[in-house]
Amino acid sequence: KMPNTSSITQFLLLAFADKRELQLLHFWLFLGIYLAALLGNSLIIPAIACDHRLHTPMYFFLLNLALINMGSISTTVPKSMVNSLWDTTTICYVGCVSQVFLFVFFISAELYLLTVMAYDRYVAICKPLHYGTLLCSRACVHMAAAAWGSGFLYAVLHTANTFSLPLCKGSTINQFFCDVPQILMLSCSDAYLGEFGLIVFSAFVVFGCFVFIVVSYMQIFRAVLGIPSERGRQKAFSTCLPHLAMVSLFLSTAVFDHLKPPSISSPSLDLVVAVLYSVVPPAVNPLIYGMRNTVIKEAL
């Protein structure tokens, strides 16, 4: 009889290294990134909340992004750090379910929010006269609530689907956190079609958001090239290009992680890809969206 999900009480996560020195190096490295992400994001939140000049749609969405970033990095990194510090690889079943739920929740909410932020930039630059009506405070609250709400629904769907599968290939997850693709690899081969269908649907949603973001930025670039002043063009490009680069990194690595065929899967590749979309964006987003911004610097 194949071991079922119900008999699994804990999962084994991938250790970053076998040598003690490298485990401690990983701990300190992740601690540095984690503290930088927490500091960067937690500075942006009060700066935006307390300065009335920053009570505009762009900064309201940025405040939401900072909250999401703090949540997503806190879901995966601390547990990995604790495991490295205590030289263990275990995570309890409930802990793993919680990680999957929270991680999917924050990552999908981030995708929807980045899409909304691209729309905000598009309206600000391409339709400035309609900005006040298209992005009034009620519309902004509705958009942010839709991003959080759809992230929540999505997380419920994914988590319920993933953990309803019979897992008959052991309990070792080849990742530093409970990642859906890695858990699917433990399921009995014919059972994960439902979750695979959900992942394909997700890919369409992600692709739709990505196309929307790219088209928004293309319209922005067209408008920017029409700006007569060199300084105006530079300012618009310096704002938009880093945004687009970060969104591209985040989406391409997340999609690759979820849709790559198992044949090209290797622990080191999976690890690098996961770090690129789960650890790098929350740490770098405050720099790209916030700290380069003179108004936020003044507010701080």
Q: What is the pLDDT of residue 49?
A: 87
- CA dist 179 and 96 (Å) reads 9
Q: What is the pLDDT of residue 63?
A: 92
pLDDT digits (tens, 9 = 90+) for 184-231: 878 876 656 666 777 778 888 888 998 999 899 889 888 888 877 788
Q: What is the pLDDT of residue 22?
A: 81
Largest CA distance in the chain: 73
Q: What is the pLDDT of residue 1?
A: 39
Q: What is the pLDDT of residue 287?
A: 83
Q: What is the pLDDT of residue 2?
A: 43
Torsion of CA 99, 105, 106, 107, to 10 degrees: 100
Q: What is the pLDDT of residue 172?
A: 83
Q: What is the pLDDT of residue 19?
A: 79
- CA dist 159 and 183 (Å) reads 11
Q: What is the pLDDT of residue 37?
A: 93
pTM of the entire structure? 0.88
What residues of the chain score a pLDDT lower than 70? 1-6, 17, 189-195, 262, 265, 291-292
Q: What is the pLDDT of residue 9?
A: 79
Domains in the chain, ordered, with CATH? Answer: 17-299 (1.20.1070.10)
The pair of structure tokens assigned to 54 is: 């920053």
Q: What is the pLDDT of residue 123?
A: 92
Neighbouring CB atoms inside 10 A of 136's CB total 12
Residue with tokens 């981030």, as numbered in its chain:
110
HSE on the CB side for 150, CA within 13 Å?
A: 17
Q: What is the pLDDT of residue 291?
A: 67
